[in-house]
Amino acid sequence: MSEENKRAQAAALAVTPDDLRGIRRGIEKESLRARPNGTLALTPHPAAMGSALTHPHITTDYSESQVELITGVHSSVEACLQELTEVHQGVYRVLDKQSCGQEAERLWVGSMPCGLPTDETIPLGRYGKSNVGRSKSVYRMGLGQRYGRRMQTISGIHYNWSLPGVSSEQYFSLIRNFRRHSFVLLYLFGASPALCSSFVEGRRHELKALGGHTLYMPYGTSLRMGRLGYQSDAQSSLAVSYNCLESYADSLHEALTRPYPAYEAIGVRNPGGDYNQLSTSLLQIENEFYGTIRPKRVIQAGERPLHALRERGVEYVEVRCMDLDPFVPVGINAQTIRFLDLFLLHCLLTDSPPDTPAEIATLAENQHLVAARGREPGLKLTRADGSQTLLSDWAAELLAQCAPMARMLDEAQGGTAHAEALAAAKATLADPHSTPSARVLRAMAQDFDDSYIDFLRQQSEQTRKTLMDLPYSEAQAQRFKVQAEASLVEQARIEAADTLPFDEYLRQYLSPARMEV
């Protein structure tokens, strides 16, 4: 082990029960708004939900049709899920009210999208007339130009996690191990083995046909995290190092400033003067870089995320590989969150050698294999030393190593919930038929003639009913209304405060100097 890793390891092993009680978490959950027939809702983001630019808990991701629900930061798993549930309740009441007696739109509970229209008719997110709002829409236009709009309609759960006293060096140690071992999460929690054929219309793929315009991989776990998901030839040329903050920042800085020929061909603006994208660099902004996990820092108004990281270090990590669980009303449950907590703690507390370009390439191949064939008997993955091992053996080894972390967390927080989460994970590993991905395929076959759309329509409607039937107090309704109204006022304030022409705003914001310390 390098001296750098020894220092990180020694600091990590000093974690105390108070530190473990100080774990902080938050959830960002994306969902498409779908019509009752299982096709994408093309209506604007509802005004009664407030401003997508400024609301603290409700925004849109890529599309006007893609709602993103955001919790605050919580020390309690239950409090985090309670807030996520309450935001869902408010959203569903808006959707119900605006239906005017017709069947209401519902939040699509699968990670792979509902029935999609032609690519160019998928509506981009709109954030008002301010410079920052317009830049967010131009960024989305650029994503559509680069990767196609359909790819951007994939939805998932992002899990934000921090532990007191952890340094940037230690967070990068955690991140390296997470990238090595996140195949376990795809196997245990992947829930997207099938999709609607509209998603891949006109694209080459290796999926097999089922009924009802459904395509699938027989042993697939998470098509969202596979070659059809958030992948790109351009980004595959990036060998971003996670060995330290400096190497990570330098890798991203180059991608954010180096022109990419295919994007130069698109151009920043079209002949009519409208923007095609923010820039012609390999990445328009930091958020365009795809990954299973990201180092993060809360940014100040107008600040570039890379500058924030360089100046103040890593504040938390964002886990990005979790599918929506269609069998759970809000897409994730307490047991899954507790497993994530102990898994992240394992990634932090175990030796984490530096990564290499060769290992980075191997990890990408492992991810694709598990996404497409994770439940296949005898599937082998490649370790950093080039040796091959059964997925089942490697995963069992990692779960066994998680036992001390489950014990530490239970001793610090009381009860046996983390031990139970680990036991459930071991049971799922031992029985591939019990994985969410296998359950999705089984439910489709048993009751829906192998139709992905019909199964997800039913699950989405059942979820809507479940959440609508929960108690919802007048105080909750008033709080939801006040937040929505306040966000609209704040958007108007931002728009009124703009003084720079949009072109000049972009020039200043995208200046490479803004990413430096």
Question: Does an H or E element contain 481, and which?
Answer: helix 474-497
Condensed to tens digits (0 to 9), the pLDDT of residues 318-366 reads 999 999 999 999 999 999 999 999 999 999 999 999 999 999 999 999 9
Residue 434 DSSP one-character state: G
Residue 49 structure tokens? 């939900």
Instruction: Provide the CA 42 distance to its chain's centre, in angstroms.
Output: 23
> What was the pLDDT predicted at 36?
95
- What CA–CA distance (Å, rounded) separates 321 from 340? 11
∠404-409-415 over CA atoms, to 5°? 110
φ/ψ (deg, to 5) at 429: -60, -40
Condensed to tens digits (0 to 9), the pLDDT of residues 133-177 reads 999 999 999 999 999 999 999 999 999 999 999 999 999 999 999
Above 50 in pLDDT, residue 8?
A: no
- Torsion over CA of 305, 311, 316 and 317, rounded to 10 degrees? 50
Above 80 in pLDDT, residue 6?
A: no
Split at pLDDT 50, 70, 90, the class of 5 is very low
Above 80 in pLDDT, residue 100?
A: no
Above 60 in pLDDT, residue 199?
A: yes
- What CA–CA distance (Å, rounded) separates 328 from 351? 34
Instruction: Flag the least confident range among 129-133, 212-216, 364-368.
Output: 212-216
Condensed to tens digits (0 to 9), the pLDDT of residues 386-420 reads 999 999 999 999 999 999 999 999 999 999 999 99
Condensed to tens digits (0 to 9), the pLDDT of residues 496-509 reads 999 999 999 999 99
> What was the pLDDT predicted at 495?
98
Nearest to 506 by CA among 141, 102, 121: 141
Above 60 in pLDDT, residue 470?
A: yes
Distance (Å) of CA 474 to CA 68, 71, 130, 478, 510: 24, 20, 34, 6, 45
> What was the pLDDT predicted at 217?
97
Residue 349 structure tokens? 């507390």
Above 80 in pLDDT, residue 237?
A: no
Above 90 in pLDDT, residue 3?
A: no
φ/ψ (deg, to 5) at 453: -60, -45
Above 60 in pLDDT, residue 480?
A: yes
Split at pLDDT 50, 70, 90, the class of 309 is very high
If you average pLDDT over every residue of the chain, what do you get?
Answer: 95
Above 90 in pLDDT, residue 288?
A: yes
Cβ within 8 Å of residue 335, ≥6 positions away: 417, 420, 421, 424
Q: What percent of the chain stands above pLDDT 90?
A: 91
Mean pLDDT over residues 255-268, rounded?
Answer: 95
Split at pLDDT 50, 70, 90, the class of 80 is very high
Radius of gyration for the chain, computed over Cα atoms and rounded to the nearest angstrom:
22
Instruction: Provide the CA 134 distance to its chain's centre, in angstroms.
Output: 23
Split at pLDDT 50, 70, 90, the class of 4 is very low
Asked if residues 300 and 309 have their Cβ atoms less than 8 Å apart, the reply is: no
Query: Which structural domains are found in the chain, ordered by start?
Result: 3-508 (3.30.590.20)
Strand partners, 292: none
Residue 299 structure tokens? 């940014």
